[in-house]
């Protein structure tokens, strides 16, 4: 078992791939693997990229990876696509866009599917990130369609969250509704050569100013359409928190990618300097522990339920009003609670 970990730590690509497979399949023994990995993690910057379908995520990620490679850094990418809720099957197409990193093994690209209705995708993603981190990747990018709570949970496992907004993606209300403003550290208006890009930048800027609680400023000095400006970098100095940046890119031609990476770097610096990185990590680990505890207790109780003859026996009684769901829950969990409390007294 730990041979695999040794191989992974020694930089063997196949071992890394296999570890991620075990994590994805929730194969027996994967927990041991991940817990062995933990001590080797904490060195990578994790970047979450989300946005609506067709906003250019994969293309931008491809260019980002290539640019990081030019800067001498290694990159891991996890691209998550939806799977069919009916068959569980999926066509994972993000790899097609990875044309800038042909044959470059130091860009480790892995496609993952949401695997139907079974939960645990964010757990699997977190664990896969750990594998890439322990492998020694400098930058890890998680790419997912920003469509719902699930995806938001996933990108929240990243240090920095980048939201792609295509031009003309609707009025102000749409942006509020999507709930993406709260999670984005960096907003990228991709396909900035299209009509409506300026307006989208403008709208985003206004929304972000509102959400800051600030009175809307006239957007004179960092107005829309200032592609060449590096003004993105100086705004955050005003307050101690991080003010989300807005960057325009044309990912297909690689325009604006350097600026994206520089902004990511300055966000990383901000995280370090402000102590936010540690705070984030603590919150994240707390969440991870809670999730695991919840799942383990769930498993234990499912086992107990089976042992007592399965759910159906209880259902009959509930349907005929002989008992009720609360009583059943008490009956099942009661012994566990007693057991734990007794132990505590000793």
User: Which stretches of the chain bind other proteins, using CB under 8 A?
Assistant: 12-14, 17-18, 20-21, 24-28, 31, 83-84, 87-93, 95-96, 102-105, 108-111, 113, 115, 117-120, 123-124, 291-292, 295-296, 298-299, 302
Of 158, 169, 161, 92, whose CA–CA distance to 122 is shortest? 158
Of 9, 52, 68, 334, whose CA–CA distance to 190 is shortest? 52
**Which C-beta is closer to other proteins: that of 84 or that of 274?**
84
Contact 152, 179 (CB under 8 A): yes
Enumerate the H helices of 156-196 as residue ranges. 172-178
Residues 6+ apart with CB under 8 A from 227: 192, 248, 256
Q: How far is the CB of 184 from other proteins (least distance, A)?
A: 27
The neighbour count for residue 130, using CB atoms within 10 Å, is 24
Q: How far is the CB of 246 from other proteins (least distance, A)?
A: 31
What is the number of alpha carbons within 13 Å of residue 237 lying toward its C-beta?
5
**Which C-beta is closer to other proteins: that of 53 or that of 88?**
88
Q: How far is the CB of 135 from other proteins (least distance, A)?
A: 11
Q: Which two tokens stand for residue 134?
A: 């322990």
**Which C-beta is closer to other proteins: that of 113 or that of 263?**
113
**Which C-beta is closer to other proteins: that of 221 or that of 290?**
290
Q: How far is the CB of 290 from other proteins (least distance, A)?
A: 12
Q: How far is the CB of 226 from other proteins (least distance, A)?
A: 36
Of 309, 296, 12, 35, whose CA–CA distance to 135 is shortest? 12
Contact 138, 145 (CB under 8 A): no
Q: How far is the CB of 43 from other proteins (least distance, A)?
A: 20
**Which C-beta is closer to other proteins: that of 135 or that of 187?**
135
Please classify residue 328 by burial: count the beta carbons closer than 10 Å to its beta carbon, then call 0-12 exposed, 13-18 middle and 19+ buried.
Answer: middle
Collapse the DSSP code of 142 into the 3-class scheme (helix H, G, I; strand E, B; otherwise coil) and give the result.
strand
**Which C-beta is closer to other proteins: that of 13 or that of 221?**
13
**Which C-beta is closer to other proteins: that of 7 or that of 206?**
7
Of 215, 210, 216, whose CA–CA distance to 244 is shortest? 210
Q: How far is the CB of 11 from other proteins (least distance, A)?
A: 12
């Amino acid at each position: 078992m730990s041979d695999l970990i040794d191989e992974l730590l020694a930089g063997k690509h196949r071992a890394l791939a296999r570890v991620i497979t075990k994590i994805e399949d929730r194969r027996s023994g994967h927990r041991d693997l991940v817990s062995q990995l933990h001590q080797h993690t904490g060195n990578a910057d994790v970047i979450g990229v989300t946005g609506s379908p067709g906003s250019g995520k994969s293309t931008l990620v491809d260019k980002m990876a290539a640019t990081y490679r030019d800067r001498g850094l290694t990159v891991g990418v996890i691209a998550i696509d939806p799977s069919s809720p009916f068959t569980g099957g999926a066509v994972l197409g993000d790899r097609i866009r990875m044309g800038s990193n042909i044959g470059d093994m130091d860009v480790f690209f892995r496609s993952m599917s949401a695997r139907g209705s079974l939960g645990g995708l964010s757990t699997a993603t977190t664990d896969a990130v750990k594998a890439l981190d322990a492998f020694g990747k400098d930058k890890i990018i998680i790419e997912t369609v920003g469509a719902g709570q699930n995806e938001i949970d996933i990108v929240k496992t990243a240090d920095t969250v980048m939201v792609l907004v295509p031009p003309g993606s609707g009025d102000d209300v749409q942006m509020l509704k999507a709930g993406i403003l709260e999670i984005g550290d960096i907003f990228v208006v991709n396909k900035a050569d299209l009509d409506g890009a300026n307006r989208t930048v403008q709208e985003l800027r206004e929304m972000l100013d509102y959400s800051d609680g600030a009175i809307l400023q006239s957007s004179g000095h960092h107005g829309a359409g200032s592609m060449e400006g590096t003004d993105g970098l100086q705004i955050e100095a005003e307050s101690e928190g991080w003010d989300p940046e807005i960057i325009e890119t044309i990912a297909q031609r690689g325009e604006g990618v350097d600026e994206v990476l520089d902004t990511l770097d300055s966000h990383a610096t901000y995280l370090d300097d402000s102590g936010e990185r540690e705070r984030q990590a603590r919150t994240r680990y707390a969440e991870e522990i809670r999730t695991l505890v919840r799942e383990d207790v769930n498993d234990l109780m499912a086992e107990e339920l089976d042992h007592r003859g399965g759910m159906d026996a209880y259902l009959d009684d509930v349907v005929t009003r002989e008992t009720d769901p609360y009583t059943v829950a008490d009956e099942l969990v009661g012994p566990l609670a007693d057991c734990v409390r007794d132990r505590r007294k000793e």
